[in-house]
Structure 1
Amino acid sequence: MKASKTRITDVFRVFWNASSWFSTLILGTILIFALGELIVGNYSGLYPSKLMKYITKKDTKQFGHDLYIYAFFLVGSVLILGIKLWLCDRLSIRFRDKLVQQIHKDYMTGNSFYDLLMYDTHIDNPDGRITQDIENYGETSIKVIVAAAQSPLIIAYYSYSTFKDMGLNSLLITLLFTTVSFFATRFAMSPIVRLTYKFEAANADFRTAHVNLKENAETIALSRGQSAEEKLLSDRLASVLSVQKQLSNTSIILNIVVNICQYFGNALVYLCIYICAPATEDPSILAEFTGRVSFEVIMLISGITSLMNVINDFSKLSGYSTRIQELLSILREQAEHVNINKFGNSFVLENATVMRPSGDSLINDLNLTVRPGESLFIVGPSGAGKSSLFRVLGGIWPIKSGKVTIPEEKTMILTQRPYVPRNATLEEAIAFPKELNEVDLFEIQNTLRLLKIEHLKLRDDEDWWVGLSPGEQQRVAIARILVHRPTFALLDEATSAIPSKLEEEIFKVLAQKDITCITIAHNKELRKWHKNVLELTGNGRYSIY
């Protein structure tokens, strides 16, 4: 599926998926507080002009009275704003929680995550869509909703107030100045946006280089690769600093434009006051008029700017929404890639043609049955399709044609680099994917002794896995199979880093526990522990003996 263009309708589709009755209630409450913020803010904004009037008239009594009222409105504004922002944060969290939970459910159902990563090459960075785009959607959507609700009210009310107090000319000057300022700022900002994306990408590359260094520290040290890695890190840092310098230089223009708009905006207020000042010499009336119309002009400019920002934010929101909706749609509607029956009692392949994801055939018309007790040893040259067939038997690889049945619930799979959970104790890692209380702890202890890794018990529970050799990782994984005792075990070079004597002992125990193995291994001595051999000869051909 190709990536879709940004669609405005996706904003509402994602909003529907993110919403619930409780989030709708929170949103309604936010809008009520947003309206209250405008009303109380209007009163608190007008009182300074009254106070200036009483200061000029030296009316101490009225000044004290209105000062208390002004303080009351200020406290009300602060409380309303604080509660509104808190509700916005809570709603953003609820949106993120619901969307991520929905996607996680679909993403981790069966092999959906594997299918998406392997076959949907047009879906870029699904982890970024889940972790970053959804967070951005939650924050931006609420920002847009609140601003879209407040801005028209602010513009309408303060346009009327400005027109009433200052006349049509002042209103038109304010509208024109605000519009020009907005587009001038956006024009100056456009190269900043491009450079910011470039800067984030360079930063990500720099961060990735350090992550790779951490993950491959031992290999790099043993390979004497320090100089090469230092050069790589220095090059990545130079790329980051180069973009950062461009960003700093380009920001000069933006800062100048923003400051011009800000300072000339202040001058605009005085221009409007001069045009429409009342014909009076009473300083108290002039003070009150100046304070009131200054507030009205500033609020009008603020409302117009906020509305224009809504348009910009809505375009960002559309981008986030399309990426999220695209992922949701693919996870919910994609056809099943792996045409395999996963509820059999044996492995059965009928005229199955195994292929690469690109569509190239590797094994043609394979007919194979592996029943319990009939272990199979798979051999063949590199590129003949051994690992591809292994993935088909594991239920995560498609076939081009034919029929495949596998006993998924009765099978455990190990590869050359087995998965070792890092957020678990040694016993929990062996019990994985079951809970620890579902397995026999005495069996775990015996298995650790058999595999000669009981020394791992002496390590701290939280970091026992740190510094495990490849052989130790494979033995922890083998322990998992011996403790779980599945009917079938798929082993792809799963004992390649284990000493041959212990390797022989492992296969002997597997046979004693009636675990039927389907094995890929370079060690031909393991052939004797298997009943049948499947030899892949290349060019789609095979033989069974």
Structure 2
Amino acid sequence: MDKQYRCSLSRLLFSYWKGEEKKRAWGMAITIAALTVAAVYMTLLLNDWFNSFYSALQNYDQQAIYHGLIQFTGYAFAYIAFAVYADYLQQRLALRWRCWMTEKYLAQWTAGDMYYRMEAFSGGRGDNPDQRISEDIDSFTSQSLSLMQGLLQAVTTIVCFIVVLWNLSEILTFTLWGYIFHLEGYLVWTALLYSVAGTWVTHQVGKKLIALNYEQQKREANFRFGMMRLRDTAESVAFYHGGGREKETLFSRFLQAVSNQYMIIRKNKQLSWLTSSYGQIAIIFPFVVAAPRYLTRKISLGGLMQIANCFGKVQDSLSYLVNAYTGIAAWKACADRLCSFTDHMEGIQEAARVASKRLKIVRGGQGVSLSHVKVSLPDGRVLIPDLSLALQPGEKVIIHGPSGVGKSTLLRVLAGLWPFAEGKLQLPEEKTMLFIPQKPYLPFGTLRHALSYPRQDAEDKVLLPLMKQCRMEKHVNQLDKEGDWMQVFSLGEQQKAAFVRILLQRPAWLFLDEASSAMDEETEAALYGLLAHLPSAVISVGHRSTLDKFHERILNI
């Protein structure tokens, strides 16, 4: 794939901040940053409070103790307020970011029939676009802001507390290999060394989690898709009594997800050992470092507690990657999936653009003309080597040929769905053409909406006569009832619904792909008889010879 069509992590992260919502997004982000810094400042004041309060405890200074408790209440309340509103605004910003990304991805997925191309051209399911758009965008936006806020808090804490910790550190003098060394700010260097070592070890142990999390989402999606497919094909499977075989297939996919989950659990166990040990040692480590100065009475109890708290803040901030490693691994896997999904769509878009250059399409003519058209599969295999044909307005033509020869694919070429073709096409305006597939699409909603799709809902006075003409009169009382009509209706009833649409829209050019294959011959003849009274040009793909009498020409492929 060309580099300009490769999604990068920076593009995924920053496209929103450069888009049409950038002013509001940056405004909210700056406010969140200010609240985060304010919360860190409160912890800095609390660090000074540790010294005075514990010194008051050591000296049994009752008035200073009560004053310290009141002071702590004010600092704590301010910290809580800053932290709560920072979190609140972060969630709102994450939701706005998710809405923006979802709209962009939905636009890209639905534009240019991409949803169809991903399924048809790749022979797969387009890497579960429903999961990418629904779950991964949500996870990516919320985790990105959470990690950014955590990083900002860590950096701000380091900047604020490292100066304090440096000032609390006395010069450390030690002898090594016969030389005397004087180390200033030894507490800072100790915290830095401890954190860098912990971060490096954590990365070595946990880096495999990114690939494992990526694979886990893929296997979970395959398992979920298998169950969705069983729901969609429930009747067909039931006729074969294939429940047992489906259970074996689904459980096999589930076990694949489980085996990967076991590896994630084992890796998380190793990481938990490390991070828990690291965190527990970090609690006592500053006391070990500062205890000699306390025992020699160079600092008070308050000074010891201040050093311990300050050391803990610096060490905890320097150890941000250690503490957040599991979340970072999940976030990176999520970002990789979104980049992969974007690459897939843009790769198909580019492949279709390159392929379509070989097919010249001219619109606006009165008829349909094909000049030396060659139709191929995505892998290059030729279905139709050379076809020239002219169709006139109002003409009725039926296309015959063996299964798999490319009849339906030819209709896809005429509909603009199939770019793997060469030659020249002269076509009428797109709005004058209507294509009816073998299995019509009936959207979820009222029956009125399904019959009128994709136009506005038709009124009773228009729909009822057409339903009777198409032998759907038993459903006239269900026009305003909502349902999943592709599941409620048999394929024959769905095809009748498609004929209602034809009579409702009355296109100038009508293309039917086995549009009556599930009907009995009497119903088929009645509905095709209705088409004979339309001024539309009718181009049908069919196997039944009973359809020939409704057409003026027969085209054999």
TM-score of the superposition, structure 1-length normalised? 0.87
Stretch of structure 1 that moved more, 480-489 or 326-335: 326-335
2:353 to 335, 348, 362: 335
2:28 to 26, 29, 43: 26
Stretch of structure 1 that moved more, 249-258 or 333-342: 333-342
2:285 to 242, 257, 268: 268
What residue is the counterpart of 2:160 in the other structure? 157
- Letter of the structure 2 residue corresponding to residue 208 of structure 1: F
1:12–1:200: structure 2 CA closer, same or farther, 3 Å change rule? closer
C-alpha deviation, 1:125, in angstroms: 5.0
Unaligned runs of 5+ in 1: 537-545
What residue is the counterpart of 2:219 in the other structure? 202
What residue is the counterpart of 1:374 in the other structure? 395
1:135 to 121, 135, 138: 138
Unaligned runs of 5+ in 2: 171-184
What residue is the counterpart of 1:540 in the other structure? none
Stretch of structure 1 that moved more, 32-41 or 316-325: 316-325
C-alpha deviation, 1:479, in angstroms: 1.2
Establish whether residue 518 from structure 1 lines up as the match of residue 539 from structure 2: yes
What residue is the counterpart of 1:543 in the other structure? none
Equivalences for 1:41-120 in 2 at 5 Å?
Answer: 41-115=43-117, 117-119=119-121
Is the 2:165–2:188 Cα contact (8 Å) retained in structure 1?
A: yes
1:33–1:119: structure 2 CA closer, same or farther, 3 Å change rule? same
Q: Provide the rounded CA distance (Å) in 1 between the counterparts of 2:157 and 2:22.
A: 29
Q: Provide the rounded CA distance (Å) in 2 between the counterparts of 1:18 and 1:179.
A: 40
Stretch of structure 1 that moved more, 44-53 or 216-225: 44-53
1:526–1:8: structure 2 CA closer, same or farther, 3 Å change rule? closer
2:525 to 478, 501, 504: 504
Q: Per the alignment, in what secondary structure is the counterpart of residue 418 of structure 2?
A: coil
Q: Per the alignment, in what secondary structure is the counterpart of residue 518 of structure 1?
A: strand
Is the 2:211–2:333 Cα contact (8 Å) retained in structure 1?
A: no
Q: Provide the rounded CA distance (Å) in 2 between the counterparts of 1:264 and 1:400.
A: 68
1:507-527 Cα distance to aligned partner (Å, 9 max, x none):
111121323211011111111
The alignment of Structure 1 onto Structure 2 pairs a total of residues equal to 530
Equivalences for 1:389-538 in 2 at 5 Å?
Answer: 389-398=410-419, 400-407=421-428, 408-422=430-444, 424-436=445-457, 439-459=458-478, 461-463=481-483, 465=485, 466-536=487-557
Q: Provide the rounded CA distance (Å) in 2 between the counterparts of 1:298 and 1:264.
A: 11
Stretch of structure 1 that moved more, 252-261 or 134-143: 134-143
Establish whether residue 179 from structure 1 lines up as the match of residue 162 from structure 2: no
Q: Provide the rounded CA distance (Å) in 1 between the counterparts of 2:491 and 2:131.
A: 31
1:526–1:196: structure 2 CA closer, same or farther, 3 Å change rule? same
Q: Provide the rounded CA distance (Å) in 1 between the counterparts of 2:222 and 2:118.
A: 24
Stretch of structure 1 that moved more, 409-418 or 252-261: 252-261
C-alpha deviation, 1:226, in angstroms: 2.2
1:185-227 Cα distance to aligned partner (Å, 9 max, x none):
3333234444444443333333233222222222222211122
1:319–1:109: structure 2 CA closer, same or farther, 3 Å change rule? closer
Establish whether residue 236 from structure 1 lines up as the match of residue 236 from structure 2: no
1:361-381 Cα distance to aligned partner (Å, 9 max, x none):
332442222222101100112
What residue is the counterpart of 2:175 in the other structure? none
- Letter of the structure 2 residue corresponding to residue 149 of structure 1: L
Is the 1:51–1:63 Cα contact (8 Å) retained in structure 2?
A: yes
- Letter of the structure 2 residue corresponding to residue 166 of structure 1: S
Q: Per the alignment, in what secondary structure is the counterpart of residue 543 of structure 2?
A: coil
1:346–1:336: structure 2 CA closer, same or farther, 3 Å change rule? farther
1:106–1:405: structure 2 CA closer, same or farther, 3 Å change rule? farther
Q: Provide the rounded CA distance (Å) in 2 between the counterparts of 1:341 and 1:268.
A: 77
C-alpha deviation, 1:315, in angstroms: 5.9
1:156–1:275: structure 2 CA closer, same or farther, 3 Å change rule? farther
1:32–1:324: structure 2 CA closer, same or farther, 3 Å change rule? farther
1:230–1:142: structure 2 CA closer, same or farther, 3 Å change rule? closer
Q: Provide the rounded CA distance (Å) in 1 between the counterparts of 2:379 and 2:348.
A: 21
C-alpha deviation, 1:320, in angstroms: 6.3
Q: Per the alignment, in what secondary structure is the counterpart of residue 383 of structure 2?
A: strand
Structural RMSD (CA):
3.1
What residue is the counterpart of 2:206 in the other structure? 189
Q: Provide the rounded CA distance (Å) in 2 between the counterparts of 1:199 and 1:329.
A: 24
1:484–1:212: structure 2 CA closer, same or farther, 3 Å change rule? same
Q: Provide the rounded CA distance (Å) in 1 between the counterparts of 2:364 and 2:120.
A: 24
C-alpha deviation, 1:505, in angstroms: 0.8
- Letter of the structure 1 residue corresponding to residue 78 of structure 2: G
Q: Provide the rounded CA distance (Å) in 2 between the counterparts of 1:205 and 1:365.
A: 40
- Letter of the structure 1 residue corresponding to residue 441 of structure 2: Y
Q: Aligned residues: percent identity?
A: 22
1:419-476 Cα distance to aligned partner (Å, 9 max, x none):
1102x2001001100111xx34322111222223233344582226243211111111
Stretch of structure 1 that moved more, 359-368 or 176-185: 359-368
